[in-house]
Structure 1
Amino acid sequence: MNLNYLKVFHTVAKHQGFTKAAEELLISQPTISVQIKNLEQELGLELFQKLGRKVYLTEAGRTLFHYTSKIFNQLEEAENALKDLKGLGKGRLLVGASTTPGIYVLPRILGQYRKLYPGIEVVLEISNSQEIEQKLLQHELEIAFCGGEVIAHPQIKAKTITYDELVIVTAIDHPLARETTVALEQVLAEPFILREPGSSTRIALEQRLQLLGKKIKVAMQFGSLEAIKQAVAANLGISLLSRFVIDQEVCAGSLQVIKIPELTIRREIKLLRHKDSKISAPVQAFLRLVNENLVPKCST
């Protein structure tokens, strides 16, 4: 079928008349009439019935209009997508993240993004979850990625993009690392090394302990996950850390995961944005990469 004939048909059907269709398409009414007639002859079906000054779709016309609506909507989407890509020669991407996704998940994706769109300035701000959420509310960030629970603020939209597992880790030569079975009480008796209050990992641990009616001894507190890993490896205490964070050290043999079912916590990593913010072309392009790279690891 001739795409130009379909466009004319779709416009006439949308306006239920030739006059407004001619105005929109910037062609004469006789030209429209000829093209509609040619389309009807090609299909072997009548598409319109004329009653007075108005035209109405026949059954065949209604069927065709259903499909032309889909066709031209998709064409419009394609045009907009290509315009967005054309506009990605320059711009700015403002992304926030809590510590785990910011340091251990997003950099690889941001590296891909920079290769594809070298003209886009990328700004990644890493802080604890509460501070990131506040910056979203104040429109200081376009999107953010946080692990664990987010504040139930009506202005923030949250979507789960992948999952993380929090596990107990010790030094490789820690006494608990040599045991095949470790009781919860043994772990709780150890000195813990944790992030500062307000970090999503610490909040997750505190919530789990509250449910269990248990307490731990916080021996040290660091604002850096790398500092925590070094302290644990030096046998200064144990910690609860993300699998994303400790994978390399476990493979290298400097840290050991201790399986304690009561203290193994699965949490969501969520994409956050302000519900009133418009998603810019740079953000849309970045989210496409996120969707390609961060498929959920397990079902809810």
Structure 2
Amino acid sequence: MDTHALQAFIAVTQQGSFSAAAEQLFITQPAVSKRIALLEEQLSVRLFDRIGRQVHLTEAGRALLPRARSILRDMADAVREVSNLTGDVSGPLRIGTSHHIGLHRLPPVLRAFTHSYPQVQLDMHFIDSEEAWEGVLQGDLELGVVTLPPVPDSRLRSVPVWQDTLVFMAAPEHPLAQEREVTLAMLTEYDAILPSPVTFTRRIVESLFDRHRLTLSISMSTNYLETIYMMVSIGLGWSVLPATMLDGAVRELPVATALPQRQLGYVMHPARSLSNAAQHFLHELERHNNL
């Protein structure tokens, strides 16, 4: 079974279209169609239903998907294990990380790593932590540098690197910023601006209020912490953000109830053999460990 055809199959599945898959693979759309047709011919089944501009997996396609990912993961592991024998630190390194970590935590790590190992081609994907976590689980990414889930998941190996203190914050002119002490109940009387419900950070905040049987009033949601910070700074609501984002434009609210600590770190697949490049990148991350 041709690995290029399997790569095209997975790309079409992820993107939902042949044209988007072609962009992801840096090939033409006819080339993607040819690879899928070859795979369907080899298996004597139809893998996709083409409805309008969208494509959907058939039952046969859904059955093939986990096996295709496993085959490609095993092939990549074999290539890495053979390459690792040379001791060279080179080749591609696919990493997924969040925009916030990429802006506030990774610059010194990336600077030191690229200076020490210029032969490594860093393929950085700036995506949500949850998406990066899933990318590592599916074998699309070798490493994820992410907000770690509040409840550990044994399917991936998670290693904390940074403690990320979360604080309640609002603009200086917000009514809550004028209070000497703020309770969780008082917070529910004002609009909150929080990350989307699928994020680990949102789960941390919601679980805190759920334990006190309180209902949040959420006016807006976005996954970009810098966007939340901007909306908070102009007085549109309060939020929960990393303490590293505190400055003159926002103020920490005097909330008596402490927030759980958020941990940032890396995730890797326990069944995957890491490349030399990935191993040295993890060494660099550990050098910046503040725990």
Q: Shared fold (TM-score greater than 0.5)?
A: yes
Residue matched to 1:224: 224
CA drift at 1:126 = 2.7
Residue matched to 1:119: 119
CA drift at 1:273 = 0.5
CA change 1:167–1:150 in 2 (3 A) is closer
CA drift at 1:154 = 4.1
* Aligned 1:27-66 pairs, distance under 5 A: none
**After TM superposition, what 4+ stretches of structure 1 lie above 6 angstroms from structure 2?**
none
**TM-score, normalised relative to structure 2:** 0.65
**8 Å contact 1:148–1:204 — kept in the other structure?**
no
Q: Larger C-alpha radius of gyration, 1 or 2?
A: 1
Residue matched to 1:258: 253
CA drift at 1:190 = 1.3
CA drift at 1:113 = 1.4
* Aligned 1:160-171 pairs, distance under 5 A: 160-171=160-171
Aligned match for 1:267, one of 259, 262, 265: 262
Deviations 1:209-249 (A, max 9, x none): 111211110111123222111111110111111123x14xx
Deviations 1:168-211 (A, max 9, x none): 11012222223332232222211011122211211111111111
CA drift at 1:267 = 2.1
CA distance in 2, matches of 1:268, 1:107: 18
CA distance in 1, matches of 2:239, 2:150: 22
**8 Å contact 1:169–1:239 — kept in the other structure?**
yes
CA change 1:111–1:212 in 2 (3 A) is same
**8 Å contact 1:129–1:198 — kept in the other structure?**
no
SS in 2 for 1:102: helix
CA distance in 2, matches of 1:221, 1:128: 14
CA distance in 1, matches of 2:283, 2:141: 18
Aligned match for 2:276, one of 257, 260, 281: 281
**TM-score, normalised relative to structure 1:** 0.63
* Aligned 1:151-300 pairs, distance under 5 A: 153-244=153-244, 246-247=245-246, 250=247, 253-296=248-291
SS in 2 for 1:182: coil
CA change 1:241–1:174 in 2 (3 A) is same
**8 Å contact 2:158–2:266 — kept in the other structure?**
yes
CA drift at 1:258 = 1.1
Whichever structure has more helix as a proportion of its residues is 1
CA drift at 1:131 = 1.8
CA distance in 2, matches of 1:169, 1:241: 7
Q: Aligned pair count?
A: 209
Aligned CA-pair RMSD: 2.4
SS in 1 for 2:273: coil
SS in 2 for 1:141: coil
Deviations 1:106-138 (A, max 9, x none): 233112212222222112223233322221121
Residue matched to 2:81: none
Residue matched to 1:37: none
CA change 1:140–1:82 in 2 (3 A) is closer
Where do 5+ consecutive residues of structure 1 fail to align? 1-80
CA distance in 1, matches of 2:230, 2:92: 35
**What amino acid does structure 2 have at the position aligned with 1:272?**
V
**8 Å contact 2:208–2:259 — kept in the other structure?**
no
Deviations 1:255-288 (A, max 9, x none): 1111324252212223211011112111111111
**What amino acid does structure 2 have at the position aligned with 1:215?**
T
